[in-house]
Structure 1
Amino acid sequence: MKKYSYLLFFIFSISLNAQKKLETSLEYQQNLNKEFADSTSSPLAAEDLKVFKALDFYPIDEKYIVEAKFIRAKREKVFEMKTTTTRLPKYKKYGELHFILEGKSFKLNVYQNLDLIKKPGFKDYLFLPFTDLTCGKESYIGGRYLDARIPKKDVMIIDFNKAYNPYCAYNHKYSCPLVPLENDLDIEIKAGVKKFHD
């Protein structure tokens, strides 16, 4: 009976943790919609802002919240990341994220913007851009981004439900980093924001 009670408690704890993860994803998406609806923070062009109701997201799916092994990069050289304009911000590969999704192994590089980390609150900020097999179909052709923080251990949680489009997907006045070729995933990531216009 004690074993049975412990098992029930264990299952209940797992479901609670999963629920918290899903709520976090939902809260993120709700906050993103608020940001886009606010004229002081929205990247939308004036004509799109007038009719904006909400971004189009894939349904939140827990399978796209994955645990990745974080491997810190060593002796990486600073490079200029290409953007949608002539701007060439300086980045450095900070590490690698290795994870399994739908039974397959994948790797994403995570980067550090050398100018951004000098600003208050961004010292531990990491940039995680990616493309996948939905790009150009259901999601933005140029790929999507995820925000991350330097992990304290060798594990990082990637929540693809929080994947968002670069601002230039909504307005050409922005200059957006192009996703490096090594971060192209050979799988459909049906999570996060979909493309804005058909």
Structure 2
Amino acid sequence: MKKIILLSILFVSALSCAQDKQPLLGDTEHQKEQNAEFKDALKSPLTEKDRKTFRALDFFKFDSTYVVTANFKSTPNQTPFEMATTTDRKPMYVKYGELSFVLNGKDCKLNIYQNLELVKREGYEDHLFLPFIDQTNGEESYGGGRYLDTSTPKGNTMVLNFNEAYNPYCAYSPRYSCPIVPLENSLDVRVEAGVKAYGKH
């Protein structure tokens, strides 16, 4: 009898835990990974209060239109510079190259950068940083622009997946110091892909 009662308690407990653990939301694996990170107390940029009620980020619907192959032009021997941030922090970057591509019928051009401190870390030796502003900023998407992370190309082209564009952590909490998108990386086109503005539904 005691064994039956114990098994019943364990079953109810397991069922309760299963009900508490909600499935990850997201239309793609990338979106699910992002939502998992935002739920994780060790990785999430959200405040503790916001994280407790967080369900999922708001994304534009995945659209293959925003997966583009850009022509890459290397820009060697560039002078390193201090990139402005939302705080007094001035990280050193260098312009690594120029990207040109067509998006929604418009010719676009962006500079891509390399963080001189980050590339010294193991696993980030090939990391490149692509901040951009587009015509959705301040409306559907975060007003300060968004970012893409990518790697050094092996040839003269680079695939850009704007569906993976993400917000600076400053969009979620003022405790972060985030690079400000250089004005030359403004796109005169709507990029209806990636993460939308936090808290706007």
Task: Please give the range of the TM-score, normalised by the shorter of the 2 chains.
Answer: 0.7 to 0.9
- Alignment-derived partner of residue 109 in structure 2: 107
- Alignment-derived partner of residue 100 in structure 2: 98
Tell me the secondary structure at the aligned position of residue 28 of structure 2. helix
Counterpart Cα distance in 2 of 1:110 and 1:190: 20
Displacement of 1:40 in angstroms is: 1.1
Displacement of 1:74 in angstroms is: 2.4
Question: Rg bigger for which structure?
Answer: 2
- Alignment-derived partner of residue 27 in structure 1: 29
Q: Is 1:147 aligned with 2:149?
A: yes
Q: Is 1:120 aligned with 2:122?
A: yes
Displacement of 1:158 in angstroms is: 0.3
Displacement of 1:30 in angstroms is: 1.1
Q: Is 1:60 aligned with 2:62?
A: yes
Q: Identify unmatched segments of 5+ residues in structure 2.
A: 1-26
Displacement of 1:58 in angstroms is: 0.2
Q: Is 1:75 aligned with 2:68?
A: no
Displacement of 1:71 in angstroms is: 0.4
Is residue 128–residue 151 contact of structure 2 (8 Å, CA) maintained in 1? Answer: yes
- Alignment-derived partner of residue 191 in structure 1: 193
Percent identical among aligned pairs is 55
Displacement of 1:51 in angstroms is: 0.5
Counterpart Cα distance in 2 of 1:39 and 1:159: 27
Q: CA RMSD in A?
A: 0.9
Tell me the secondary structure at the aligned position of residue 182 of structure 1. helix
Is residue 106–residue 189 contact of structure 2 (8 Å, CA) maintained in 1? Answer: no
The one-letter code matched in structure 2 to 1:95 is G
The one-letter code matched in structure 2 to 1:188 is R
Paired residues, number: 174
The CA deviation string for residues 9-60 of structure 1, in whole angstroms up to 9 with x for no partner, is xxxxxxxxxxxxxxxx922111111000111110000111010000000000
- Alignment-derived partner of residue 7 in structure 1: none
Displacement of 1:92 in angstroms is: 0.1
**Match for residue 161 of structure 1 among 163, 170, 173:** 163
Q: Is 1:129 aligned with 2:122?
A: no
Displacement of 1:179 in angstroms is: 0.2
Is residue 83–residue 92 contact of structure 2 (8 Å, CA) maintained in 1? Answer: yes
**Match for residue 42 of structure 2 among 40, 43, 57:** 40
Q: Identify unmatched segments of 5+ residues in structure 1.
A: 1-24
Counterpart Cα distance in 1 of 2:95 and 2:28: 30
Counterpart Cα distance in 1 of 2:171 and 2:104: 28
The one-letter code matched in structure 2 to 1:158 is L
Tell me the secondary structure at the aligned position of residue 109 of structure 2. strand
TM-score by length of 1: 0.86
Counterpart Cα distance in 2 of 1:29 and 1:152: 27
Give the 4+ runs in structure 1 shifted more than 3 A.
none
- Alignment-derived partner of residue 17 in structure 1: none
TM-score by length of 2: 0.85
Displacement of 1:135 in angstroms is: 0.3
